[in-house]
Amino acid sequence: MKVVIVGGVAAGPKAASKIIRLNPEADVTIVEKDKYLSYAGCGLPYYVSGEVKEQKELMCTPVGVVRDPVFFRKVKNVHVLTETEAMEIDRKGKRLRIKQLADHQEKWLDYDKLVLATGAHPIMPPLPGHDLENIFTLHGVHDAEAIKSLLAEDKARDVVIIGGGLIGVEITEALTHKGCRVTIVEKFPQIFRMLDWEIAKLVAQHMETKGVKIITDTEVKAFKGQGEVKEVVTDQGTLPADMVIMAVGVRPQIKLAQDAGLDIGEWKAIKVNAQMRTSDPDIYAAGDCVESIDRLTGKSCYMPMGSTANKHGRVAANNICGHEDSFPGVLGSTICKVFDFSVARTGLTESAAKEMGREVVTVMAPAPDKAHFMSNAKPLLLKLVVDKENRKLLGAQATGPGDADKRLDVVAMALMSGWTVDQLANADLCYAPPYAPAMDNIITAANVARNKLDGYMEGVTAREVHQMLAEKKEFIFLDVRSPAEYEEVRLPGSTLIPLGALRGRLKELPADTEIIAFCKISLRGYEAALILKAAGYQNVRVMDGGVVMWPYEKIK
């Protein structure tokens, strides 16, 4: 069996390796336009920062062997043609026309099965001045090397990043640590549009404490400079720039498939079935060039991720070799490092769920990620989104210095299993003080959701409270923390009555006025609400997330 694979970064090498394992007699050839193979693109920001010391580390196996053409030939028995471009698919003749970039020689490769793993290309808007020097994307090793070179020569003091998504934010830390003055320009109202606004706001506030300037609701109009970029012109003014990194997203590479007449989906990516087969039964596609299915909605989506690409490649290989396999879809599970914060999400955001017409209950649950008495315990800020009708989990988001990955991974598995918050609340998770609280963060969040669903707690979001304060609505914004906490930091318009003093000071609170209780994380706020309700107060709510998750200015 002859298999030709176009693309040698993630999905392609994974498919090739699995095919050889299943069918050692197969004749497998990888065609790759670049000279670099099977590299970890998600590691490029860490190569720029210097955490990854050498370029080859991004292309090595876990034991340090470089995955180059010699490695693929000797270890995998896979032929690799680097610096070779796939030009045309002859579906009827089952052959692929290729061109060697060094000498422009062309030839045809016959195939029994063809795998398209052509990936995606970064979006570069055709703005005036976009072709000036020192304007980069961060989509490959070449860009990373160029950025490192400028940093080493100390020629990039002012850096403007266009786009506040994953790529833009991940490179920010590396540049800041190198001493750059970094400004992120985002055309939408928030960075990290994969998150709900309040979690994104908390991340932005943290980045600003690290010296990063974030400008939202701002559109770039042009770049200026003599040969090299020196200014970024926006609709809000002009920014100095020695370097610009375009990070406005990627588009799937579909020209080869499109020219061959293969079906293209609504996201302008290659349409495949669960077996990763295209509209041609002898052609498969995998990785960032294809659409996936959203497991919660059943609709097609485009979520390019290295982890997904590797799964795609394996599924395609299994089916090519006659071993039935299928890819069930994605949840959009994503995590990244932002200085000392983790930022993670899985499933639906609140805004996405509401756009679908779902009535949801949300929970903001901040807490230490380990037993509070452990010296290495760190805050973790969680948000859950739950379907009010059937109590099923819809999604989760997290940020903070605490361990977010394992909590979001638990939610991802719960989403795949169709769990309700009641099932999640009783999940048998590992416990020891160095690793988690006795009631793990995600279990506590699930119990808060249950309290809301069962009518034991009525919550109100920080956004709603902020709006009420702005409109000067009559209510008591009741802070039940200690006086010391209140003196250190407090929220505007709040009234302090410590929880321990509340029962003795109930007469200070009018029974006919709404009371919104809160504390540092709103656990004491919930206790205060129960005390007030037991005393006959009817109009009592608890502000989700407390002071820790208040995404607006605080009084210090």
Please name the residues in contact with 332: beta carbons below 8 A apart, sequence gap of 6 or more: 194, 294, 301, 303, 345, 346, 347
Cα of first residue to Cα of last residue in the chain, in angstroms, is 70
**Amino acid, res. 115:** V
* 273 touches 315 (CB < 8 A): no
Please state, in angstroms and rounded to a whole number, the distance separating the CA atoms of residues 41 and 55.
11
For residue 387 the two structure tokens come to 């379907």
* CA–centroid distance for 47 within its chain: 20
**In this structure, is the dihedral angle defined by the CA atoms of residues 17, 20, 23 and 28, taken in order, positive or negative?**
positive
**Amino acid, res. 257:** A
**200: part of which helix (H) or strand (E)?**
helix 197-209
Query: How many CB atoms lie under 10 A from the CB of residue 255?
Result: 12
Nearest in space to 364 (alpha carbons), one of 553, 521, 204, 479? 521
For residue 112 the two structure tokens come to 């029994």
* CA–centroid distance for 311 within its chain: 18
Quickly list DSSP for 309-372.
Answer: HHHHHHHHHHHHTT-------B---EEEEETTEEEEEEE--HHHHHHTT--EEEEEEEEESS-T
Longest dimension (CA), the chain: 90
Query: How many CB atoms lie under 10 A from the CB of residue 31?
Result: 24
Rg (CA), the chain: 27
What is the 3 state secondary structure string of 273-287?
Answer: CCCCECCCCCEEECC
For residue 63, what are the CA distances in angstroms to 55, 59, 71, 342? 15, 11, 13, 27
Catalytic residues: 42
